[in-house]
Amino acid sequence: MSSESIAFIGTGVMGRSMASHLMDAGYSVAVYNRTRSKAEELLEKGALWRDSPAAAAEDASVVITIVGYPEDVAETYLGDKGVFSTLPKGGLAIDMTTSKPKLAELLWERGRELGISVMDAPVSGGDLGAREARLSIMVGGDEEAFFRAKPLFEIMGGIVVHQGEAGAGQKTKMCNQIAIAGGMIGLAESLSYAKKAGLRPETVLQSIQSGAAGSWSMTNLVPRAFRDDYAPGFFVKHFLKDLKIALESADELKLDLPGTELAARLYEKLVSLGFEDLGTQALFRNYEELL
């Protein structure tokens, strides 16, 4: 059994699998989620329930969070019942939510004042990557804290890279989401063209997925769309949140990202149609309508 005791906050599509891997590795894990039913699987496995982020952090040496939006991250750490109100000095806080780089920097600074190491470590790989412990984990924060956290990261992910100082993990995740956004538009247009040209998209996929056009999204998400499977490996609403963060950050850098702006408009349209809780592959289902 490891000497680290872990509080895991956020047991949704991704967090549930990530916390489960830590338990399988022998860590003691206490959990908190706003909706307790989403933590039941972990509780049945032996996780301990806590009633708030503060209660979860009180007896922990490491707190890991993966929640929905930047405002949720801020409340989880800085609120009256937040992690920083109880996590002991010398503790390690790791936010794995995709959030704002500036918020990551603020949390790091607040942690330094409290004697707590804070890292931003967003992930990529979706529900499948979380279940199979193959996530790519992009880490920002102090090097000493990174080496302390690395054994935990390696249990949850397959690729773990320390990108630099606080906020660097979130900035790297923005690079990831920007690339995905352009790729998803390309996939939707490619397969819409195939259908209009009288081809069978399924057989087109067989020809192009192993060539230069191939990608993780093509291999994993397009077959789901062909089966009318729009279950969320990653929610439309969360992807739109990420794109808005990327555009806000780009604006601060005085950088123009027209492709990302287009993707944000298309996903905003999906939300307006009531598809915010579907997976990002829902773009394929509605692409012709969205145009």
Residue 108, burial from CB neighbour count under 10 angstroms (0-12, 13-18, 19+): buried
Integer Cα distance of 238 and 215 in angstroms: 21
Tokens 């993990």 belong to residue:
169
Q: Is residue 276 within 8 Å of residue 234, measured between CB atoms?
A: no
Q: Is residue 132 within 8 Å of residue 156, measured between CB atoms?
A: no
End-to-end distance of the chain based on CA atoms, in angstroms?
A: 55
- Pairing between β-strand 123-124 and β-strand 92-95 as defined by DSSP bridges: unpaired
Integer Cα distance of 232 and 239 in angstroms: 11
Catalytic site residue from 81, 89, 102, 173: 173
- Pairing between β-strand 117-120 and β-strand 123-124 as defined by DSSP bridges: unpaired
92, amino acid identity = L
Q: How many residues can be counted in the chain?
A: 291
Integer Cα distance of 245 and 165 in angstroms: 19
Return the SS3 of 263: helix
Does the active-site annotation cover 173? yes
**Which residues are identified as catalytic?**
173
